[in-house]
Amino acid sequence: MPIDATLPYDDDNVFARILRGELPSTKVHEDEFALAFHDINPQAPVHILVIPKGRYVSWDDFAAKASDTEIAGFIRAVGHVARGAGLVEPGYRLLANVGGHGHQEVPHLHVHIFGGRQFHEMIPPPRG
């Protein structure tokens, strides 16, 4: 179920628990600002999630409240991870779902990095 991205941060969300080491993840990268790990249900040959270390519900929350240092650190981490995965030359796709219409399921900001195959339509048609 998509989340309401206007709600306050929930410290029990699954990515908060991964950040605290309470749940396992297959870590790709970690620095002061971000943690990157493989998605548990990959939608492409490469499907990595990058999350900020701070308590931000969504891209909107992060853009509004994070410091310039956190924003720069996070954006650089996304680039670093994609580059490190060898995705710059073939190309890749970034996605950040926000709230209900965006079908965001985990209420901690995450950027999806998809790669390893050709992507076509940017937004698939609605199901049903």
Instruction: Give whichever of 76 and 103 is closer to ligand 5GP, judged by the CB atom.
Output: 103
Q: Smallest distance, Å, CB 73 to ligand 5GP?
A: 21
Inter-residue contact 56 to 98 (CB < 8 Å) = no
Dmax (CA) for the chain in angstroms is: 43
Strand order in the sheet with 34-38: 27-30, 34-38, 46-52, 111-115, 93-95
Instruction: Give whichever of 20 and 67 is closer to ligand 5GP, judged by the CB atom.
Output: 20
110 as an active site residue: the answer is yes
- Catalytic annotation, pick one of 38, 108, 110, 120: 110
Q: Smallest distance, Å, CB 95 to ligand 5GP?
A: 7
Cα–Cα nearest to 5, from 123, 105, 74, 113: 105
Chain residues that interact with ligand 5GP, rule: CB under 6 A: 14, 23, 25, 37, 39-41, 49, 97, 103-106
Report the SS3 class of residue 60: helix
Instruction: Give whichever of 51 and 66 is closer to ligand 5GP, judged by the CB atom.
Output: 51
Residues with active-site annotation: 110
